[in-house]
Amino acid sequence: MNKTTMSYAQAAVHAVTQEMEADPNVVVLGEDVGRGGIFGQYKGLQERFGTRRVIDTPISEAAILGAGVGMALAGLRPVVEMRVVDFALCGMDELVNQAAKNRFMFGGQGRVPMVVRMPTGIWDASAAQHSQSLESWFAHLPGVVVVCPSTPQDNHGLLRAAMASGDPVVFMEHKTLWGLQGEVDTSLQIPLGRARIVRAGGHVTVVSWSKQVQACEVACQALAASGIEVELIDLRTIWPWDRDAVLSSCGRTGHLLVVHEAVQAAGFGAEVAATAAEATGCRVRRLGAPRIPVGYAPVLEAQSRVSADDVVAAVRAFLQ
């Protein structure tokens, strides 16, 4: 066991460093990675591993993702940086029609062991084109794994698992979690598809992921003060997601509330809720953002946020 306190960004740097030291085929490419990335998530890597393995690219998401797919098919293990998920939309063909489908279309002769890092979520005062939560888009795409870590520990462990998976992984770190401090065991292996039980409870199951887990934790504390015990589950991996943990919990509580920062309409919460209702017969509710662009002005941005108070109100109304 090797525990130390580090930030969400430092945990990512450490994870990539470990993999690059262990395997010379691991390379990093993207805009600004040479200077450490816009969030510091590659800090010091180019100085350590050189420009042939930490590669600054032109400003073209299609070219970056296309190069990553080619590298992966040729035997490398690329970590591809998209800066923010909003920019990745310029390279969707390379991900959707090439990376995701290659293994299937060529009968397993080729694989794309590529990690595409797409920082996600509301970025304070950054408006509609820099604040989207699009995990449900990629969960809908056969052939990719989708990961949304909420803590420094998970950012470390899940990033290493993603890099070792052998398949394309959409790795979605929240844009405002980079400075979050936490204890990280750098030897801990965290498998993809395994949820984290944040706290146990018997009245209602709340399922969430990414930064929204923090708001849910605050809500759980407030609810516990009034005698309502919530079982909070951090899904961690959106696809594959931990059905066993969720179904076991809501089968016991009889109530499931899925909370996410993404727009509620057609969000991944609908998949979790429908699966739980079909499998266990529990009552289900969803809580997500309204179907509006994220505004720049603070008062408008606030309309797209799902706060701890919103979670408390939803749980109370649910149990009445």
d(C-alpha 192, C-alpha 169), whole Å: 10
CB burial readout 207-244, b (16+ within 10 A) else e: bbbbbbbbbbbebbebbeeeebebbbbbbbbbbebbee
Q: How far is CA 89 from CA 115, 121, 205, 263, 312, in A?
A: 16, 15, 34, 17, 34
Residue (of 49, 89, 55, 88) closest to 71 by Cα position: 55
For residue 179, count CB atoms less than 10 angstroms from its CB and return exposed for 0-12, middle for 13-18, buried for 19 or more.
exposed
Find the Cα–Cα–Cα–Cα dihedral 169, 175, 179, 183, rounded to 10°. -40
For this structure, is 130 an active site residue? yes
The two three-digit tokens of residue 11, written as one number: 């945990």
Active-site choice (130, 156, 255, 260)? 130
Residue 109 CB neighbours (<10 A): 9
The two three-digit tokens of residue 76, written as one number: 């490398």
The two three-digit tokens of residue 246, written as one number: 């969720």
H/E segment holding residue 94: none
* Side-chain-side CA neighbours of residue 275 (13 Å): 15
3-state secondary structure 144-208: CEEECCCCHHHHHHHHHHHHHCCCCEEECCECCCCCCEEEEECCCCCCCCCCEEEECCCCEEEEE
* Residues belonging to the active site: 130
